[in-house]
Amino acid sequence: MKLIVNKRFWVRSAAIIVILAFSVFLFFIGRQHTILVDNKSITINETEFQPLQLVEVQINKQPPLELAARDRDKYEATGQKHTVTIMYTDKTWEEHVIVRTFKVPLMQDMLIISIPALVGNPDSEQSVWLENYELPTYAMTAQPAEEHVVTDDFAGLI
Amino acid sequence: MTLQMTKTQKLLRFLANNTVPILFLIICAFGIPLSGYSANYLVSEILVRIVRNSFLIISLLIPILAGMGLNFGMTLGAMAGQIGLIFITDWGIVGIPGMLLAMIISTPISILLGWWCGKILNMARGREMVTSYIIGFFMNGIYQLIVLYGMGVVIPVRSNSLLLPRGYGIRNTVNLIGIRKSLDNLLTIRVFGISIPLVSFLVIAMLCLFILWFKKTKLGQDMRSVGQDMEVARAAGIRVEHTRIISIIISTVFAGYGMILYLQNIGTLNTYNSHMQIGMFSVAALLVGGATVAKANIRNVFLGVILFHLMFIVSPMAGKNLIGQAQLGEYFRVFVSYGVITISLVLYEVRKKRDQAQVGLALASEQEAGA
Minimal CA separation from A98 to chain B, in Å: 29
What residue numbers bound the domain in which B221 lies? 7-366
Domain presence at residue A4: no
Quick one: DSSP state of residue B127? Answer: -
Minimal CA separation from B192 to chain A, in Å: 30
Domain presence at residue B112: yes
Please answer whether residues B52 and B285 qualify as being in contact, where contact means their C-beta atoms are separated by less than 8 angstroms: no
A-chain residue closest to B107, CA distance: A19
Domain presence at residue A24: no
Domain presence at residue A3: no
List of residues 6+ apart from A113 with CB closer than 8 A: A35, A36, A37, A38, A57, A84, A129, A130
* Domain count across chain A: 1
| Averaged pLDDT for residues A27-41 | 94
Minimum mean pLDDT range among A46-60, A143-157, B125-139: A143-157
B-chain residue closest to A153, CA distance: B273
Nearest alpha-carbon partner for B89 in B187, B163, B186? B163
What residue numbers bound the domain in which A75 lies? 32-139
pTM of the model: 0.88
Cβ <8 Å between A149 and B169: yes
Domain presence at residue A57: yes
Minimal CA separation from A149 to chain B, in Å: 6
Which CATH number covers residue B197? 1.10.3470
Q: What does pLDDT average to over chain A?
A: 87
Residue-by-residue pLDDT tens, chain B, 371 positions: 455 678 888 888 888 778 888 888 888 888 888 888 899 999 999 999 999 999 999 999 999 999 999 998 899 999 999 999 999 999 999 999 999 999 999 999 999 999 999 999 999 998 999 999 999 999 999 999 999 999 999 999 988 889 998 889 999 999 999 999 999 999 999 998 889 999 999 999 999 999 999 999 999 999 999 999 999 999 999 999 999 999 999 999 999 999 999 999 999 999 998 888 888 889 989 988 888 888 899 999 999 999 888 888 888 888 788 777 767 777 777 777 677 778 877 887 888 888 888 888 888 888 888 77
Domain presence at residue B1: no
End-to-end alpha carbon distance in chain B: 14
Domain presence at residue B371: no
Angle, helices B19-35/B274-288, rounded to nearest 10 degrees: 110
- Among B100, B148, B164, beta carbon nearest to A26: B100
Q: How many interface pairs between A and B have CB atoms less than 8 angstroms apart? A: 64
Minimal CA separation from B125 to chain A, in Å: 26
Domain presence at residue A154: no
Cα–Cα distance between A71 and A38 in angstroms, integer? 6
Write the ipTM: 0.84
Which CATH number covers residue A72? 2.60.40
Quick one: DSSP state of residue A71? Answer: -
Cα–Cα distance between B296 and B245 in angstroms, integer? 19
Domain presence at residue A23: no
Mutation target to probe the B interface, by most B beta carbons within 10 A, among A16, A25, A26, A153 is A26
Mutation target to probe the A interface, by most A beta carbons within 10 A, among B87, B93, B134 is B93
Contacts of A30 in chain B (CB under 8 A): 88, 93-98, 101
pLDDT recorded at residue A158: 42
Domain presence at residue A17: no
Domain presence at residue A145: no
- Among B93, B164, B277, beta carbon nearest to A26: B93
* Domain count across chain B: 1
**Which is it for strands A81-89 and A54-59: parallel, antiparallel or unpaired?**
antiparallel
| Averaged pLDDT for residues A1-15 | 88
Domain presence at residue B2: no
- The model's confidence at residue A139, banded by pLDDT at 50, 70 and 90, is low
